Amino acid sequence: MSSAMNGGQWPQVRKAQVANFKDTSNLCQLCLKEAGTLQHRAHCIGIRPEGGWPKPPKAAELVRTKLSEDRARLLDTRALLTVRVPAPVARQDGHFEWLRAPDLNNPAIDEATWYFDGSMLDGKVDLLRATGFGIAITSSGGDLLGTARGTPPQWCSTAAAAEAWALLEVLRLSPSPPRMRTDCLSLVKTAKQGAEAALAPSRQLGRIWVCIANILVGDLTTLERTNLLV
């Protein structure tokens, strides 16, 4: 495959054009019926399996219909496909929006539980890496009171950073620390260790925990000690 992609395999038509090879026939040496081009390989009777080559999946065929003739030929003959992928817009500041804003005058909000989660997409490619978070607020009876979503700043480039930023946003949105639920155990462990450990120079997320600590007046352990963050 690697040899075919970088042009290391010459079809008979190209080989016949080199005088030193002393091979003037441009016919495919397997079927001797058609010119030996890269395109001919796809239907040459000398290598075509009984019943023909497998057809591509429907999803792949849909992509193929959007390709230009040159790009489709490159895909067929060299197994190469180039696509343009939009990179995320650089964000200096985080973005937040309510999808369903809660009624802060509703007494149920005082006993509500705030669920939040952060995630990352395309983490293997730095230029395409994107992080985001979501928040859902439910009453003690299970009624949905509010939902929100957002994106942290560009420097929050990991899933763990997105989780920590989501925690920060929840604390910013609530007059006092609410009941919170997360699937990120490291947040609970960091809060339990306290501000001194969370803000240590070796902490990659110390920049976020500084903001969290300011909201909590320096007492991070209250989140875990009072079972607010579970």
For the domain covering 108-225, report its CATH number. Answer: 3.30.420.10
Please state whether beta strands 144-151 and 95-100 pair in parallel, antiparallel, or not at all (unpaired): antiparallel
Angle between helices 159-173 and 206-215 (to 10 degrees): 20
Over residues 24-78, the pLDDT tens digits come to 788 888 888 888 888 888 888 888 888 888 888 888 888 888 888 888 888 888 8
* Lookup result for tokens 């040496």: 29
Distance separating alpha carbons of residues 127 and 90, to the nearest angstrom: 10
- Give the distance from CA 66 to its chain's centroid: 23
Distance separating alpha carbons of residues 172 and 53, to the nearest angstrom: 59
**What pLDDT does residue 55 have?**
83
**What pLDDT does residue 132 have?**
95
Domain residues of the chain, as ranges? Answer: 2-78, 108-225
**What pLDDT does residue 7 have?**
66
4 band by pLDDT with thresholds 50, 70 and 90: low
- The residue that leads in pLDDT, 226 or 23, is 226
Report the chain's mean pLDDT, rounded to a whole number: 89
Over residues 132-190, the pLDDT tens digits come to 999 999 999 999 999 999 999 989 999 999 999 999 999 999 888 999 999 999 999 99
The 3 state secondary structure assigned to the chain is CHHHHCCCCCCHHHHCCCHHHCCCCCECCCCCCCECCCCHHHCCCCCCCCCCCCCCCHHHHHHHCCCCHHHHHHHHHHCCCCCCCCCCCCCCCCEEEEEECCCCCCHHHHHCEEEEEEEEECCCCHHHCEEEEEEEEECCCCCEEEEEEEECCCCCCCHHHHHHHHHHHHHHHCCCCCEEECCCHHHHHHHHHCHHHHCCCCCCCHHHHHHHHHHCCCCCHHHHHCCCEC
- Give the distance from CA 52 to its chain's centroid: 37
